[in-house]
A and B are shown apart, each in its own frame.
Chain A
C-alpha cells in the first residue's frame, strides 16, 4: 500500500480505468474540472493531501492515485 503522501504529492488519473463518473471534480472543484464528455481535466495536480485521499477513496472506477504509487 502507498505510504501517506508528502506535501509535494501529485494526484494522477489512470485514464484507462477512468469512466467519467465525475466524482473527483465534485470533491476537488478547484483542482479538477470536466471536459464536455465528463472526463477530468487536472488544473492543479498538487491537491490537498487529505482531500486527495478522500477523492482517491471515493472514485468509483478506482482511477485516482498518487504519482509514483
Chain B
C-alpha cells in the first residue's frame, strides 16, 4: 500500500481544526511537489498539543514530514512561535524553523505560507488552494506549499508504521483515530490528554481533574471548546455531551482544534466573553474591512449589550455579528461570530438577569459604556 492509500484507508483528517482529509491533501502535495510547513504553533488559545508532540515524539514527527515531502528535505519547515520552547527544541534538532510572530492569525495556513515566502505573517486570499501555487495580493508568485498541523504529521508517521487498522481501532467509524486534546481553565490537572471521538466529555474533564457539584454532573463551570472559533456548553450540557463532531453538532460545535477550557464558575461568563472579544478585536490583521472594522464594533457592542440588554439590542447585535460571516480572507471573523452566537445561546438566561441591572455572580452590572 502506498502512503496515500494508507491515509485514505485510515480516514485521518487534519488535527488543527479544519478536519480536511489528510490523504487528499498529501496526494495534492506529492503531485505538485509542494513544500511542507509543519505547523507546531498551537495557534488556538489554550492549545499546547503541538508543543507536546515536538517534546515527546519529535523523531516520528520528522519521519512523517519526510514521508509527505519525499526527497525534499530543503522543502520542509517547522513553524513555531518566536522564542518558544518548541522553536528551541526544533532548532536544537537541526530542523529548519519558521519563526512565527505571537499573533492569533499569524499561524493561519495562508499566513504561514506568506511568511515562508518572505512576506508578513498575514493571511492571504485563497483563490485556489496554495498546494497548487498561487499569487499573493501584490501579484508575487507563491510556490506550491502545503501546511499540516504537527499532530497530523505525527499521525501520518504512526499510520505508516502501524497501519490504518490500528488507527481505526480508536474513535468512531466516521471520526476515526486517536486525537490529542488540551484541557485547561478551572481544572486541577490541566494539560494534553490522549482522546478519541466518541468519549463522553465528562470523562475527559474528569481526567483533567475537573471537580464540580453533584447537581451539575460534576462539571465545575460552563465549558468553552475550540478557542476563539469555538463554542460554549452549560454545565448540564457538558455533563451529557459526547466529544465528537456528531455529538457536538447539536450545540453548533465540533471537536475543532481539540481545546477544552472550563470557565471560572465564580466570574460572570458574559464578562469572560467580553475579554475574549476585546482580545479578538485586537488580533485582526487589519487587512479585510469586515474584520478590521467589524470585530472592534462587535466587541464594543457586546460590552454595551451585557451592561443593558434589551431584545432590540440583542437583535441589533446579532445583525452585526451576521456581517462577520464569509467576509474575510481567512475564517477568523467567522470563528468569532460562531463563538459569540453560542455565547448568546448558552448565557441567554444570565443575560436576561443583567437586564435588571444585577449580575447573579458579580453583583451590580457596571455600565462601562453608558454610565
Contacts and interface: CB of A to CB of B under 8 A. Distances in A.
Give the most central of B123, B287, B288: most A CB within 10 Å: B288
B128 A39 contact: no
Interface in B127-186: 127-128, 137
A12 B125 CA distance: 11
Given A39-B327, A41-B323, A41-B327, A15 B124 contact: no
Given A15-B329, A17-B137, A39 B127 contact: no
Contacts of A19: 289
Contacts of B369: none
A18 interface: yes
B137 A37 contact: no
Contact of A15 (B128, B287, B323): B287
B135 to A, nearest CB: 11
Interface string A58-69: 000000010011
A41 B320 CA distance: 12
Interface string A29-53: 0000001011101000000000000
B287 A16 contact: yes
A16 B137 contact: yes
Given A14-B127, A15-B125, A20 B327 contact: no
13 contacts: A12-B127, A15-B289, A15-B291, A15-B328, A16-B287, A17-B125, A18-B289, A35-B290, A37-B289, A37-B293, A38-B289, A39-B289, A65-B127
Given A15-B288, A15-B328, A35 B323 contact: yes
Give the most central of B123, B127, B328: most A CB within 10 Å: B127
Nearest to B136: A16
B96 to A, nearest CB: 28
A35 B291 CA distance: 12
B128 A68 contact: yes
Given A37-B290, A38-B289, A39-B327, 13 more contacts: A14-B329, A15-B291, A16-B123, A16-B288, A17-B137, A18-B289, A20-B289, A35-B289, A35-B294, A37-B289, A39-B289, A41-B323, A65-B127
A18 B127 CA distance: 14
B53 to A, nearest CB: 32
B125 A14 contact: yes
For chain B, give the interface size range: 10 to 19
B88 to A, nearest CB: 33
Contacts of B329: 14-16
Given A39-B327, A41-B323, A16 B293 contact: no
Interface in A6-24: 12, 14-20
Nearest to A14: B125
A15 B125 CA distance: 7
Contacts of B287: 15-16
A36 to B, nearest CB: 8
Contacts of B291: 15
Interface string B265-291: 000000000000000000000011111
B290 A15 contact: yes
A52 B294 CA distance: 27
B199 to A, nearest CB: 38
Nearest first, the 7 A-B pairs at minimum CB distance are A15-B288, A39-B289, A14-B125, A16-B287, A37-B293, A16-B137, A15-B329
Nearest to A65: B127
B298 to A, nearest CB: 12
A41 B289 CA distance: 11
Nearest to A68: B128
Give the most central of B137, B288, B289: most A CB within 10 Å: B289
A30 B273 CA distance: 37
